[in-house]
Structure formats: structure tokens, C-alpha cells
Amino acid sequence: MTDIVDPATRHRMMSGIRGKNTKIEVLVRKGLFARGFRYRINDKKLPGKPDIVLSKYKAVIFTHGCFWHGHDCHLFKWPSTRPEWWRNKINGNRKRDNQVRMLLENAGWRQCHVWECALKGKYRLDINNIIDELVQWLLSNCTMLEIRGKTE
């Protein structure tokens, strides 16, 4: 399927996508703040500049967009235009994600990955349930957590 907009419009649309303060990130931050958790955002001292850093709990939270990180869910579909470029881009993001995971793990940081499909789309979860799960994880000594949308 070819693109439905001209290249200039597509360029403008894509350049408007930002990596900080995304809707899912802000929802998670507000939920944690309302429950009394305090955090830093995008700490440049840590590998991958995690979206949310809770130093007291030695924990970081990443909020990943399903498209940009090639998540195996209903929100991700390989683009049909410039397929080789997109495969390199998305596979590069996946490779970087794995490297960041290993660096943080070796440094003793606990990690949570909240996927966009958990908060968006037809298989989304309730935000209060997601925050409950995050709080439970933060208060535990579990090292990893992944929150994704419901399975079909």
C-alpha cells in the first residue's frame, strides 16, 4: 500500500513525533505521583535516559511506543514504503533497547517496560490497574516487569 499523503506532509507529521513527554509517559507519571511516588525524568546519567527514574527503589520505567520499538502486538505493522530503511531503523532501536537493558541490569537497576498497547487501542488495560501493578512491583524486590495490552 502506498502512502496516502505526499512526502512533505509525511515529513512534517513524522518530525512532530517526540521522544519525551508522550501521552503514555505522562499518564504513568501522573498515576505514580498521585500515589505519592517521586521520581526524576530522562536522567542522562543512566544508560538509555529512562523515562522515569525512582532512585529510592533503584528502579527505572520505560514507556515504549509499539511502532518505534517493533513490539509484537496489534499496534505494530511493518511500513510498506521504504521497507529496508524501516527494518534497519526499528531493528536498530531493538538492539539499542537490549544493550540498555543489559547495562542497567549490570548496574543493579530494576526495570519496567510499559508498552503503548497497554494504554491505547482495543486491547488496552485500565490505567488504575496499570498503576496498581507498578506500585506492587516497586514495593517488591522483583527485578523486571513488562506491562503490555491484553492478548486477543
29-38: list long-range contacts, CB under 8 Å, 24+ apart.
31/127, 31/128, 31/130, 31/131, 31/134, 32/131, 32/134, 32/135, 34/131, 35/131, 35/135, 37/135, 37/138
List per-residue pLDDT tens for the chain, 152 residues long. Answer: 566 767 777 556 656 565 666 889 999 999 999 999 999 999 999 999 999 999 999 999 999 999 999 999 998 999 888 899 999 999 999 999 999 999 999 999 999 999 999 999 889 999 999 999 999 999 999 999 999 998 76
Q: Examine the residue annotation and report whether 97 is marked as an active-site residue of this protein.
A: yes
Q: Examine the residue annotation and report whether 74 is marked as an active-site residue of this protein.
A: no
What the chain holds in terms of domains, given with CATH numbers, is: 20-147 (3.40.960.10)
Residue 21 DSSP SS3: coil
Q: Which of 63, 64, 71, 113 is flagged as catalytic?
A: 63
Q: Which of 51, 64, 71, 113 is flagged as catalytic?
A: 51
Q: Which of 22, 69, 74, 143 is flagged as catalytic?
A: 69
Q: Which of 22, 74, 97, 143 is flagged as catalytic?
A: 97
pLDDT of residue 80: 87
